[in-house]
């Protein structure tokens, strides 16, 4: 009997190259006709107490994100909040300086290293976090845009695709939690879904309704802090934004930066921020300037905290990434061995 043919895999370089091209094009459009004189004036006239409040709100959002991660893990593991916070900020730095959002791999690895949380379980909890983010993003988007008649088609279409994707994934998770034996029966014996069995077990380990409901509620506070960061930056730059407008700009940026792009969302952040501002009738040169200021505040300040957290580990971000990648490969090999033995 002939062995089944393996499907050709996408070369590993494709996604990074596509991401760099996307960011390169975004940077071109962001800095085309950029008024550096206007930018210098905007920086000099910033109201710095508002900037400080924006930074505080942005950093608080990551602390809430870390706390939420801890709550999701609590039915199975008990890492400390400090460990989760440090891992989160190092992950933010990893996303800002390494390709393929490597910080999403670094975060769970550090929790495995420090708190002996199983790597795959920590990864699963992080995935549950992102699913919650998607649900909250879609919910808030439709609330926020109810009174914005000129919302771009690309934004509505993107949120629709996100809502369908999140609904499918959430339905699978709910099915696993309610009908565990049926889920095992469906995937058992199928080679293309064999690895999913291990994921089902981990989802079930985290399936405490009280903690999941608490974590989901915390997701709204996580986004609220990021909305407030944009609102405070708007006040710092003398923009007459309300919370609704700030939420619209932030959600537009978060949607666009989901696509593959360069480390730190460079280019895509600015272009999405600028485009969202222009929907709110902000002049192009003001939108470009404010988008760059927002990028520095909202991307660099958490990354600087990440630098401090990395310094406390005694390693470099490159060394941490290398060890995280090695742990991920070992975890995949272990899963494969368990599945084959079964």
Query: Is pLDDT of 22 > 70?
Result: yes
The pLDDT value given to residue 335: 59
The pLDDT value given to residue 14: 87
Percent of the chain with pLDDT over 90: 72
Predicted model pTM? 0.90
The pLDDT value given to residue 120: 86
Please name which of 259, 270, 40, 289 lies closest in space to residue 154, comparing C-alpha atoms. 259
Looking at residues 161-188, what average pLDDT do you find?
A: 76
Q: What angle do CA 226, 228, 234 make, to 5 degrees?
A: 110
What's the pLDDT tens digit per position in 278-306? 999 999 999 999 999 999 999 999 999 99
Decide: 87 and 110 in contact? Cβ < 8 Å: yes
Most confident of 59-68, 100-109, 147-156, 326-335: 59-68
Please name which of 245, 251, 246 lies closest in space to residue 227, comparing C-alpha atoms. 246
The pLDDT value given to residue 182: 61
The pLDDT value given to residue 32: 93
Cα–Cα distance measured from residue 122 to residue 83, given in angstroms and rounded to the nearest whole number: 13
Decide: 83 and 223 in contact? Cβ < 8 Å: no
Written in H, E and C, the secondary structure of the chain is CCCCCCCCCCCCCHHHHHHHHHHHHHHHHHHCCCCHHHHHHHHHCCCHHHHHHHHHHHHHHHHHHHHHHHHHHCCCCCCCHHHHHHHHHHHHHHHHHCHHHCHHHHHHHHHHHHHCCCHHHHHHHHHHHHHHHHHHHHHHHHHHHHHCCCCCHHHHHHHHHHHHHHHHHHHHHHHHHHCHHHHHHHHCCCHHHCCHHHHHHHHHHCCCHHHHHHHHHHHHHHHHHHHHHHHHHHHHCCCCCCHHHHHHHHHHHHHHCCCCCCHHHCCHHHHHHHHHHHHCCCCHHHHHHHHHHHHHHHHHHHHHHHHHHHHHHCCCHHHHHHHHHHHHHHHHHHHHHHHHHC
- Compare 101 and 197 and report the one with higher pLDDT: 101
Looking at residues 301-315, what average pLDDT do you find?
A: 96
The pLDDT value given to residue 330: 82
What's the pLDDT tens digit per position in 237-265? 999 889 999 999 999 999 999 998 999 99
Looking at residues 312-329, what average pLDDT do you find?
A: 93
- Compare 90 and 180 and report the one with higher pLDDT: 90
The pLDDT value given to residue 232: 98
- Compare 41 and 241 and report the one with higher pLDDT: 41
What's the pLDDT tens digit per position in 81-101? 999 999 999 999 999 999 989
Tell me the two tokens of residue 184: 């095992």
**Structure confidence at residue 190 as a pLDDT band (50, 70, 90):** low
The pLDDT value given to residue 339: 46
Residue 32: φ, ψ to 5°: -70, 125
Query: Is pLDDT of 6 > 60?
Result: no
Cα torsion through 51, 274, 245, 166, rounded to 10: -110
């Amino acid at each position: 009997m002939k062995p089944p043919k393996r499907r050709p895999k996408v070369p590993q370089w494709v996604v990074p190259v596509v991401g760099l091209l996307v960011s390169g094009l975004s940077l071109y459009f962001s800095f085309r006709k950029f008024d550096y004189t206007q930018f210098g004036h905007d920086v000099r006239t910033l109201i710095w107490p508002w900037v400080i409040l924006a930074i505080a709100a942005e950093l608080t959002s990551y602390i809430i994100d870390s706390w939420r991660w801890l709550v999701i893990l609590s039915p199975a593991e008990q890492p400390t909040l400090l460990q989760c916070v440090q891992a989160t900020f190092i992950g933010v730095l990893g996303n800002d300086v390494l390709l393929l959002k490597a910080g999403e791999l670094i975060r769970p690895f550090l929790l495995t290293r420090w708190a002996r949380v199983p790597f795959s379980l920590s990864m699963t909890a992080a995935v549950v976090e992102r699913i919650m983010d998607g649900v909250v993003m879609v919910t808030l988007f439709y609330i926020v845009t109810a009174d914005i008649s000129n919302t771009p088609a690309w934004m509505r279409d993107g949120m629709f695709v996100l809502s369908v994707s999140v609904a499918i994934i959430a339905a699978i998770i709910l099915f696993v939690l309610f009908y565990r034996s049926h889920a095992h029966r469906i995937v058992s014996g199928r080679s293309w879904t064999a690895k999913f069995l291990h994921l089902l077990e981990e989802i079930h380990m985290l399936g405490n309704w009280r903690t999941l409901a608490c974590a989901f509620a915390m997701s709204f506070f996580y986004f609220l802090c990021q909305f407030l960061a944009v609102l405070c930056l708007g006040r710092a730059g003398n923009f007459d934004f309300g919370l609704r407008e700030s939420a619209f700009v932030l959600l537009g940026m978060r949607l666009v930066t989901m696509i593959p792009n360069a480390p730190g969302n460079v280019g895509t952040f600015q272009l999405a921020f600028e485009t969202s501002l222009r929907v709110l009738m902000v002049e192009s040169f003001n939108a470009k300037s404010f988008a760059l200021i927002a990028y520095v505040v909202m991307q660099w300040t958490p990354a600087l905290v990440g630098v401090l957290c990395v310094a406390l580990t005694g390693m470099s971000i490159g060394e941490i990434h290398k060890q995280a990648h090695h742990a991920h490969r070992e975890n995949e090999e272990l899963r494969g061995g368990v599945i084959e033995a079964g």
